[in-house]
Structure 1
Amino acid sequence: MNPRLRPLVPAELDAEQRALYEEITGGPRAEGPRHFPLTDEQGSLRGPFNAMLLSPGLGRALQELGAAIRYRTGLGARQREIAILVVAQVWESAFERHAHERVGAAAGLTDHELLALREGRDPGFSDPVERATWAFVRALIGRSGVFDERQYSAARDALGERTLFELSTLVGYYSTLALQLRLFEVPVHATPG
């Protein structure tokens, strides 16, 4: 698969695009351990970030939402990656799956759990918060479109309303990225190593 959007190299960016580029490459995503590179050999942004440069105002808001989900919620690392990998599986987003399986493994998800998430099977989480997170995200994003009162009550009781808000925001954000990755046919090989 060839990407539909060519990589935008730093030298060709206008001032607004350059400012967003620097926010992405110099912000919290660039700090600490990185499980896949944000840029390629020419300095172009990888994955969903390259497309964000097309409309810097919207791209900035979108990347800020992603940073807030990743760095400013009460979600634990395993919990967050479980939710992201459920979204990747439902939307069949190879890029999200590839990138976040690495992050999930670093957060402690086992090979068995990662495979079950990839295949849409029950990973058998013994931790009640992780199990409730998996069940909630599967139900919320499920293809049936039904999320009934029983499911809501079970999720609220297990996770609390704040966590439901944070997880539903995560589902919306990563679903948006999955659609954009599909639209621009962003290849998995954009995350080497």
Structure 2
Amino acid sequence: MTARLGKLAPADLDDDQRAVYAAVAGGRRAQGPQLFPLVDADGGLEGPFNAFLLQPRLGFAWQALGAAVRYETALSDRAREIAILVTAVAADAAFEWAAHEPIGRHAGLTGDELDALRTGRFEALAGELERVVAATAHALVVRRDLDDEEYRRALGMLGEAGVFELLTIAGYYQALAMQLRVFRVS
């Protein structure tokens, strides 16, 4: 698949684009272990982040939402990565899987658990909360809704704020998957 969007070179960015670039490449994502590259060898933003530069006001807000989803929710790192990886599989988002598989491993997901997420065998996950997170994320991405029983289970395990967080994670990563697909980012 040929990319539809060329990489925007850091030297060619205007002030607003540079602000978005700095927020991605020098912000929260750049702190701690680098489990997937944010920039390529020429300094261009990787993955979905390059497209954020096209419309800096939206791109800045979009990257801020992504940082909040990754670092400011009450879900455990494992639960968050389970939701992201389930969304990546359901949305057929190879880049998201490739970027988040090492993060999931860092959060403690085993090879068997990652295989279970890839194949939809959520019962293989360690605990009930993680199984509910996986099943709920899957339903949100595949059916874009929860039936009453799914909602009751999610609410019982996560509370209303946790359900909101999970909805936001699934929605954010599903939207990223669409951007990656349309722009042919591999």
TM (norm. structure 2) is 0.96
Say whether the 8 Å CA contact 2:122–2:131 is kept in structure 1.
Answer: no
- CA distance in structure 1 between the partners assigned to 2:13 and 2:118 by the alignment: 36
Instruction: State the match for 1:180 in structure 2.
Output: 179
Please give the per-residue CA displacement for 1:108-145, whole angstroms capped at 9, x wherever unaligned: 111111112122332512312111111211222224x5
Post-superposition CA distance 1:6-38 (Å, at most 9, x none): 111100111110111011111100000110110
Write out aligned runs for 1:50-65 (5 A): 50-65=50-65
Note closer, same or farther for the CA distance 1:146–1:9 as it changes in structure 2 (3 Å cut): closer
Could you tell me which amino acid in structure 2 is paired with residue 177 of structure 1? L
Tell me the alpha carbon deviations over residues 25-56 of structure 1, each in whole angstroms, 9 at most, x when there is no partner.
Answer: 11100000110110001100000000000000
Tell me, yes or no, if structure 1 residue 169 matches structure 2 residue 145: no
3-state DSSP of counterpart to 2:171: helix
Aligned position for 1:154 = 153
Q: How does 1:76-115 map to 2 (within 5 A)?
A: 76-115=76-115
Match of 1:191 in 2: none
Q: Is residue 113–residue 123 contact of structure 1 (8 Å, CA) maintained in 2?
A: no
The 2-side partners of 1:116 and 1:74 are apart by 24
Question: What is the alpha-carbon distance in structure 2 between the residues aligned to residue 136 and residue 102 of structure 1?
Answer: 22
Aligned to 1:128: 128
SS of aligned partner of 2:124: coil
- Residue 142 of structure 2 aligns to which amino acid in structure 1? G
Q: Which amino acid aligns with 1:66?
A: G
Q: CA RMSD in A?
A: 1.2
Q: Distance in 1 between matches of 2:77 and 2:123?
A: 16
- With normalisation by structure 1, the TM-score equals 0.92
- Determine the C-alpha separation between the residues in 2 that align with 1:123 and 1:107: 19
Partners of 1:87 and 1:77 lie apart in 2 by 15
**2:19 alignment partner in structure 1:** 19
Q: Partner residue of 2:28?
A: 28
Question: Aligned partner of 1:43: which letter?
Answer: G
* Contact 1:83 1:171 (C-alpha < 8 Å) held by counterparts: yes
Letter in 1 for 2:14: D
- CA offset digits 1:65-95 (Å, max 9, x no partner): 0001111110111100000001001110000
Alpha-carbon shift at residue 146 of structure 1 (Å):
4.9
Letter in 2 for 1:162: A
Provide the residue aligned with 2:2 in structure 1. 2
- Taking the TM superposition and a 5 Å limit, the aligned residue runs for 1:29-48 are 29-48=29-48
Measured in 2, the distance between the counterparts of 1:67 and 1:13 equals 22
